[in-house]
Chain A
Amino acid sequence: GAVVSQHPSRVICKSGTSVKIECRSLDFQATTMFWYRQFPKQSLMLMATSNEGSKATYEQGVEKDKFLINHASLTLSTLTVTSAHPEDSSFYICSASYSPTEAFFGQGTRLTVV
């Protein structure tokens, strides 16, 4: 099956710094990738749709200047959390698909801002 790799799996950063999370489709090309955030005991909330070669489409309530998304190639999308604060601590997950019948998820990144 298709593999989506996300890196890092865990990161701890100081308040006010920025963190970059990478999402790669290892064996297929993904024109579109999705970024989700999941708080403890809650479901996945779609943050934005990452489009190769164009600007990301953000969901209502998600600050585009805080969560920078770049989809530089058909196999790589990055999410940068800028000026992170403790309330940004969460589980961030990306997904990608090459067919309409399945969406593949990365392993997730647990971000802790101290």
Chain B
Amino acid sequence: NAGVTQTPKFQVLKTGQSMTLQCAQDMNHNSMYWYRQDPGMGLRLIYYSASEGTTDKGEVPNGYNVSRLNKREFSLRLESAAPSQTSVYFCASSDGGTLTDTQYFGPGTRLTVL
């Protein structure tokens, strides 16, 4: 099992460009999450999907959109990238049955917006 995979691993964008970060999991998990990690800020939840067909905002959703394409895949889109969105983005998944479900993280995407 690959677990949680993310593409691309690295990306450099210019201000105003758009891009989609892809995430897939092969653990048959119901819930999926997108986080960003910035120095001194810890991980902050951008959006999550409790189950296929549903998405909800997290702590820092502004400037992002998400799509739960199917049970396996959860994408994060930046429509018009800004330098403030320079960060490391992590996707995670969990079985979703209880609040204490273990979240399994992908390896991350390092995004730089110039």
> Do A and B come from the same complex?
no
Residues of A within 8 A of B (CB): none
Residues of B within 8 A of A (CB): none
